[in-house]
Structure 1
Amino acid sequence: MKKGFSLPLWVAGSAKAALKKLVGSSFENYELIKIPNEEKRIKIEIHSVGLFKDDSHALGISFAKSGLDLDITQNLEIWTIASLEKISLNNPVQTNPINIIPGSGVGIKENTSEICISDFAKELLYENLLEIIPAGFYLNLEIIFPKGEFLAERTSNKSFGIVAGLSIIGTSAETYSSASPDQLEEAKTKLSKLMKNDFKGKVVFVIGENGLNLAKTCNVNLPIIKVGNWIGPLIVDAAIKNVKTVILFGYHGKLIKLAGGIFHTHNHLADGRIEILVYLAVQEKVPPEIVVKLSYLNTLEDALLLLERFDKSTAEKLFKHLSNTIEKRSFAYVNRYVKTDMEIAAIIFDRKREIRWTGTIGSDYISYFQSNKF
């Protein structure tokens, strides 16, 4: 099932090589990276390291090898610049032993300018770098993706309020293709394990790292499983296993596909988002001139902004209809394969990562999302 290693490991490898060079260790063309809370070490290839600025800074370079053909970070060039700074006498206890700096091509949060990095990636850096930092110093670590800003244009980062480059949001060491059957089997296995514990019958399915990150930020008081793009087969599996309620939590640009009967949501297999919205707009009797304008747009977010400029109540009504259609089409899809009364709820967020809409069933479960602006 393992295809390669996630972006945080390659960042950690490059950073470890740079820091070791800075403190006088000899260069090796690989680093052994410790995985938090696990015994294993993973060998990460390092391209090169070097000193500069009168040997006060070190640059480490690696190339990410995720092993996934359709992964935007496959062969991504990674630079990490390490420098040490003495802990101030006025502040003998440095609260942050590692200062992670977003350099060129690394994604930042639009509202705060903070680096977009997952907890797993942070833990990985701390696990592998802390013991190398000399006593009395803290580490400045600048991460740079030379082609990150260019590559980010091919992602949905901006839809999640992430700008200026690629985010570092891997949540595990291994990488899996969201379009691969292996990824589906992994999600099924997680669901089976979940049901062996104190399972209350309700589970949240999220799509991708961004959805998972937001669900965790919302402190959802329910078990969460990242489903990748295999939504249809996984909700069928949930019905077979007698799950009582599946809550589909996701970005409107992904979940809309379910309203059109597309239950494998990878863009390389099917899109049709604008076409689905146009169909729903016709059903909602949106004025023809607005429907025509919608048909020429490229993204669902652009469509939402157009509708809100025209009439906010019309936009809300249409996206409420979208949410209800997701629930109904998903229920009908599952019942093609297994007769079930399992509830399927839809809760949808927008590009600002704000929860905006629910279906009729989803409205009963919004209270499980403690930190929201619904």
Structure 2
Amino acid sequence: MTTKSTQARSGYTLPVFACAGAIASLHQLIYASALPTASFNLLNPNETVEIPIEQSALLSKTAALAITRSDPGDNLDLTRHTPVWSVVSWAERDQTEQILLEGGEGIGYHAQGDAIYAYARKLIHTHLSAKLKSTQKIRVTIILPEGRRLALRTSNAAFGVVDGLSLLGTGGIAQPLSAPEQLTAYRKRLRQKAAVYQDLVFCLGENGLDLALRHGVDAQRRLKTANWLGPLLVEAGELGVRSILLFGYHGKLIKLAGGIFHTHHHIADARQEIMAACCIQARLNTSVIQQVLASSTVEAALQILRELDHVDKENRVEKVYEQMAERIDTRSTAYIQTHTERTVQVGSILFDRQRQIIVKSKIAQFLLAN
């Protein structure tokens, strides 16, 4: 009997569902009839898709609403099945642009405004402007009813986005990056780099990749790992890599200090407990440890330590994060040794949500200098 391999299913990014809903809303507004599906080109890639419309209705004579539901494919994505509301209304007289796109409830914001990025804006403007007369103007509001709640379970704050989720992405296809099948692609890239370089830099995400460059890391030595740190550390050991510099957001890398080597929030989470353990190692008093343990996020716990340090200059952040970085280095080295019987030097650099470096372990400092 032969077994058939199952390929991971790709899905679509949030901007695609926002655009589908906006198309359906505009159709409802103009023709007073519902669209069962919205058919349109993703632009990137050049591919036409049909997105189901769950519900649509006129809200008034000047506004309509359509609801779609996110489908990211075989990703461990917390936005799976979340509703996406797209409201289209005729513009006020003083509106100058033909299409005013804005974020409503559940769409986060950053220093430059609503967290609706270039691809989402291009997709919506392209397809809605084609359906409007030159004299018609509309306001498009995208709402994620569950966005504010879901954002608390993400590292969005590390990207400067608060109070909601982003309409993020440079294309319409959501590749299954967190599905097990995607690990094959990461391992392939690692083998290619390990064939050329003995010393590599593992970056969990785009922020790490960018910060590594700013700290003088050779671009070709960087490898994006996403949440697959454990298997990639082992693979690096098997390939004979000499050293690995870990570059990542502290809310992710802290898990390694507790021996958790798959960092996706669906897999495991003990971040406050790990940070409290680091506080104990740093000999902080019990009341501070209790505050850290009771904090809602590790970012909040870091802020507690910073505020206390501001008052009495006790350097708690430095002491705690030195312990954390040392634990990350030690645990990672031991993890590789256990699974490969090889010794790889591992150093770690942790940054906060403002992309400021919190700590460089001693080994990290050595690796950066060499």
Question: Which band: TM-score by shorter chain?
Answer: 0.7 to 0.9
46, 57, 69: which is aligned to 2:53? 46
Shift of 1:232: 0.9
Change beyond 3 A, Cα 1:101–1:334: same
Separation (CA, whole Å) in 2 of partners of 1:86 and 1:341: 66
Shift of 1:275: 2.9
1:329 corresponds in structure 2 to 331
Query: SS where residue 117 of structure 1 aligns?
Result: coil
Query: SS where residue 283 of structure 2 aligns?
Result: coil
Task: Specify the code of the residue in structure 1 equivalent to 2:336.
Answer: V
335, 342, 346: which is aligned to 2:348? 346
* 1:261 equivalent in alignment to 2:255: no
* More displaced stretch, 286-295 vs 307-316: 286-295
Alignment of 1:193-208 (within 5 A): 202-206=200-204
2:115 corresponds in structure 1 to 116
Separation (CA, whole Å) in 1 of partners of 2:243 and 2:134: 52
Separation (CA, whole Å) in 2 of partners of 1:86 and 1:132: 19
Contact 1:59 1:80 in 2 (8 A): yes
1:79 corresponds in structure 2 to 85
1:320 corresponds in structure 2 to 322
Task: Specify the code of the residue in structure 2 equivalent to 1:142.
Answer: T
Task: Specify the code of the residue in structure 1 equivalent to 2:219.
Answer: L
Task: Specify the code of the residue in structure 2 equivalent to 1:99.
Answer: L
Separation (CA, whole Å) in 2 of partners of 1:132 and 1:218: 45
Shift of 1:306: 3.0
Change beyond 3 A, Cα 1:267–1:63: closer
Separation (CA, whole Å) in 1 of partners of 2:190 and 2:128: 34
Query: SS where residue 106 of structure 1 aligns?
Result: coil
Task: Specify the code of the residue in structure 2 equivalent to 1:74.
Answer: R
Unmatched segments (≥5 aa) in structure 2:
1-7
Shift of 1:75: 2.0
Contact 1:204 1:222 in 2 (8 A): no
Q: Deviations over 1:93-114 (max 9, x none)?
A: x6xx6533011122222xx372
TM-score normalised according to structure 1 size: 0.75
Contact 2:28 2:35 in 1 (8 A): no
Task: Specify the code of the residue in structure 1 equivalent to 2:84.
Answer: I
Separation (CA, whole Å) in 2 of partners of 1:215 and 1:99: 33
Separation (CA, whole Å) in 1 of partners of 2:198 and 2:119: 27
Q: Deviations over 1:112-152 (max 9, x none)?
A: 37222344434443554454454466653210122333443
* 1:182 equivalent in alignment to 2:181: yes
Alignment of 1:146-165 (within 5 A): 146-158=145-157, 161-165=160-164
**Percent identical:** 31
Shift of 1:333: 1.7
Separation (CA, whole Å) in 2 of partners of 1:235 and 1:265: 13
Q: Deviations over 1:34-82 (max 9, x none)?
A: 3344233232111233445534x44322122335696432222211123
Change beyond 3 A, Cα 1:217–1:246: closer
TM-score normalised according to structure 2 size: 0.76
1:66 corresponds in structure 2 to 72
The number of residues matched between the two structures is 353
* 1:212 equivalent in alignment to 2:209: no
1:372 corresponds in structure 2 to none
Alignment of 1:260-339 (within 5 A): 260-311=258-309, 312=313, 313-338=315-340
Separation (CA, whole Å) in 2 of partners of 1:42 and 1:192: 35
